[in-house]
Amino acid sequence: MLETLRTLDHWLLLAINGAHTPALDKVMTFASDRYVWIPFYGVLIIWLLYHYRSRAKASLPLVIAAVALADSITSKLFKPLVGRLRPCHTPDLAPLLHLPDGCGGQFGYMSSHAANSVALAVFLLLALPAGRFRGLKIWVFGWAALLSYSRVYLAAHYPSDVICGWLVGALLGWLAAWAFAKADPYWWPPASLPKST
């Protein structure tokens, strides 16, 4: 069973990485660049402050904590603990890979990029009013999907690294949204989270 999953993981990686073009190389390298996130996060913080003012003071620390924890758990706990080499550092795979953005650090399990982006997306989905800001919610999930795909495309991660990163990020985003609903029950609590009394 484990060998079958490993074979599927490698096959998906090679299929995604092998479907490269010069234009996609630029898009995926751009999507994976951490410095691209900084302006986006800045705009998001300003947006939250503008729309929700004092209530943003409750949401911002929680979403920042969720993203920071997602990054720390995946990078500082799982990567050194599991010690799974990135595909581009794996001797039998490296010659087969297209690496437009280099290789990065030695270990890849789990994907921090995937965990961070999904933590943010899940928090916004649950914490923002149900039925409102659909464009923003779709955009952040689209961004998380593109970012996650780019990590496999660039051969920085196996698909399973990304999927496990999603699970960690989703759990932390949900916990942050749950804490927000408990801390501020009057911010249009979504139906999916229990309203505190």
Computed over every residue of the chain, the mean pLDDT equals 88
User: Higher confidence at residue 174 or residue 50?
Assistant: 174
| Domain 2-183 part of CATH 1.20.144 | yes
Tokens 């996609």, residue located? 24
Determine the Cα angle at 141 with ends 123 and 148, to 5°.
110
pLDDT in tens, 123-166: 999 988 877 888 889 999 999 999 999 999 999 999 999 999 99
pLDDT at 16 over 60: yes
pLDDT in tens, 60-102: 888 899 999 999 999 999 999 999 999 999 998 889 999 999 8
- CA-CA-CA-CA dihedral for 72, 160, 172, 121, to nearest 10: 110
pLDDT at 193 over 60: no
Contacts of 115 (CB under 8 A, 6+ apart): 70, 71, 73, 74, 165, 166, 168, 169, 172
User: Measured on CA atoms in the order 3, 5, 11, 16, is the torsion positive or negative?
Assistant: negative
pLDDT at 191 over 60: no
pLDDT in tens, 36-51: 878 887 888 888 778 7
H/E segment holding residue 113: helix 112-127
pLDDT at 11 over 60: yes
How far is Cα 191 from Cα 78, in angstroms, rounded to an integer?
33
Contacts of 70 (CB under 8 A, 6+ apart): 112, 115, 116, 118, 119, 165, 168, 169, 172
Whole-number pLDDT of residue 164: 96
Exposure class string for 11-46: b at 16+ Cβ within 10 A, else e: eebbebbeebeeeebeebbebbeeeebeeeeeebee
Q: What percent of the chain has pLDDT over 70?
A: 92
Token digits of residue 44:
């998001």
Domains of the chain by residue range = 2-183
